[in-house]
Structures are given as structure tokens and as C-alpha cells.
Amino acid sequence: MSNVLSGSLAYIEVINILKLLVSGDRDGRLLLQKEEHQETGEIYLSGGRIIHALCGNYLGEPAFFELILWNHGKFAFDPEETTAQKTIEKDTGTLLSEGTQHYQAWQKICHIIPSFRIRFKKTGQEPPPNVKLKGKDWEVLNTLEAGELSVTEIADKLNTREIEVATIMAALMEAGLADIGASGKPVMKEVVSSNFFSNLENELVQIIGPVASIIIDDVIEGFGETRISFPKDKIPSLVEGISNEIYDPAKQVAFQQLMLKKIKSLH
């Protein structure tokens, strides 16, 4: 195996890696790996065209649209891994343009639905007068009649892409028609605000300089999380992980003192 391009998805989006490979007319395989679930996905290119993708049970475009949403884990591009399979017929330019739109759509809802594995329930409320549900919206809502389901489970039932279900679910939640289920609540941890990370970074820059941001992201990635999805209850472990990167004991304690105050103020 000869990887010419590899790294962490915490620093670069899948869509941007693909744009780079496409613009270089590359042949090969982009391997993506989520560490916490040991999940992998593959996207193949031939002469700068995206020709094949696979991810779990998905093949072709559904796999492609799933993989471009991955924002943590590792990637590696291997020019020697090629394939004769062709599961994507769509023009690569169009595919990348649609992919960018999907990624942007996901970014808008990921604060409401941070994971496809959280289960949702129907609230039983009637749709507000200003909300007009379409056929697909009703289909998604009706799957919750039988009990709590996750985005992944609903997508499987309706044979639809997860991002489509997630977008509908976010709208249903905003309309008060769906909510996070009891079984989903333990998984749906309260996440850290972006403000917290800005403060953390500012403090750490004072102590260890400009590498602060890289260290924070490395430690976050070590937990299999991102800044967007980082659960509040893991903050002490995050602080501990970052502290271990501060080699001056006095500065280490000063950082811990400061962070302990901030943690207490969050409760």
C-alpha cells in the first residue's frame, strides 16, 4: 500500500479531499475510517472521475452521500487500489456540487441531530397551522407510531438516505411533532458550546502557544468526537488529556485551576 495522501478528517472535509483528487485527475481509492465504530467506507476514482463508493450496506451514490458527511476519523488515498466496479454513473462535477449542498445541509441540522443513532419519538401533537407536511414527512413521522427509532433505522425502513431522514426529522422536531426518545436520551448528551472551545483555545494559547488548536483537536479526536458533537460530561477528560500535553508542571496546574472553575460554572 502506498498512501500519498492521508490524515485526519477533523482537519479537512471529505468533499474537499475529493475535489483535490478530482482536480488532479487521480486514479485510486480513498479509504475512510471512523475509529469509534470501526466503520469504513471507500470511494474510487478513475482519471479524476468518481466511479464507485461503498459504505456498510450502501453502494454507489447512497454510499457517497453518506461518506461525505463523515467529519471525524482518518482518511488515506492509495493510487494503487483501483477497481473495475462502476456503481456511480453521474457526472463527477454534478456529484460534487450535490455533495457540497448535502454537506452544507447537514451542517445546518447537526446541532439538532448530532447522530444518526439517537432514537426519536412522536410527541403526539397536531401539526401547527403554519406547518404543511409533505408525503415524505408523514412517512417519517408515521414510522414512529410503533415506537422509538433512529435516523438510521427509519432510513432502512423507508429505503431512503439518512441525510434525507435527518433533514425531515430536524424539521419535525422544530415543528414540535417529534422529540428525542427516552432510549435516545442517554446517548444524546448535552454538547459543549462553541464558546467554550474558543475560551479554552484562548487560555491554552497563552500557555503553550499557537499549537493549542492542534492539541485540542487531537485530544477531541482521540475521544472519537468533534468540536460540534463533544459531550459536556467528557469535559473533565478533555481537560485532563490537554493537561498531559503541558510539560511545565506549574503551567499544567494553572491550566487545571482555570478549567476547573469553568467546568463548575457550566453546571
Partner 1 sequence: MKDKLEEIDSVDGVKASFMFFNDGELVYNKLAPGLDAEIYQEIAKDVVQMAAIFDRLGSHIHEYDLKYENGRVFAYTQNNYNIIILCNPEVSVAMLRLTVNVAIADLEADKKFQKRTSKIETSRRSYLVRSNMDPESWTLVETVN
Q: What is the enclosing helix (H) or strand (E) of 51?
A: strand 49-55
Task: Choose the stretch contacting partner 1; rule: CB under 8 A; options: 95-103, 141-149, 200-208, 253-261.
Answer: 253-261
What amino acid is encoded at 259 in this protein?
M
Q: How far is the CB of 111 from partner 1 (least distance, A)?
A: 25
The closest alpha carbon to 176, from 217, 126, 213, belongs to 126
Q: How far is the CB of 250 from partner 1 (least distance, A)?
A: 9
Q: How far is the CB of 261 from partner 1 (least distance, A)?
A: 9
Query: Is residue 266 a contact point for partner 1 (CB under 8 A)?
Result: no
Closest CB to partner 1 among 95 and 242? 242
Read out DSSP for 85-140?
A: -----S-HHHHHHHHHHHHHHHHHHTTT---TTSEEEE--PPPPTT----HHHHHH
Q: How far is the CB of 243 from partner 1 (least distance, A)?
A: 8
Query: Is residue 199 a contact point for partner 1 (CB under 8 A)?
Result: no
Going 70 to 71 to 73 to 75, the CA torsion angle's sign is positive
* Plot region of 54 (φ>0 → left; ψ -120 to 50 → alpha; else → beta): beta
Going 173 to 177 to 181 to 182, the CA torsion angle's sign is positive
Among 253, 262, 265, 266, binds partner 1 (CB under 8 A): 253
Closest CB to partner 1 among 132 and 261? 261
Query: Is residue 257 a contact point for partner 1 (CB under 8 A)?
Result: yes
Closest CB to partner 1 among 188 and 235? 235
Closest CB to partner 1 among 157 and 251? 251
Closest CB to partner 1 among 34 and 232? 232
Closest CB to partner 1 among 144 and 259? 259
Do residues 194 and 232 touch, judged by C-beta distance below 8 A?
no
Task: Choose the stretch contacting partner 1; rule: CB under 8 A; options: 37-45, 70-78, 185-193, 257-265.
Answer: 257-265
Q: Interface residues for partner 1 in 215-244 (CB under 8 A)? A: 233, 236-237, 239-240, 243
Residue found by looking up cell 461518506 in the block: 67
Kindly report the backbone phi and psi dihedral angles of residue 2, in degrees, each rounded to the nearest multiple of 5, phi listed first: -130, 85
- Distance, in Å, from the CA atom of 117 to the CA atom of 145, rounded to the nearest integer, reads 18
Q: How far is the CB of 265 from partner 1 (least distance, A)?
A: 14
Residues that bind partner 1 (CB under 8 A): 233, 236-237, 239-240, 243, 253, 256-257, 259-260, 263
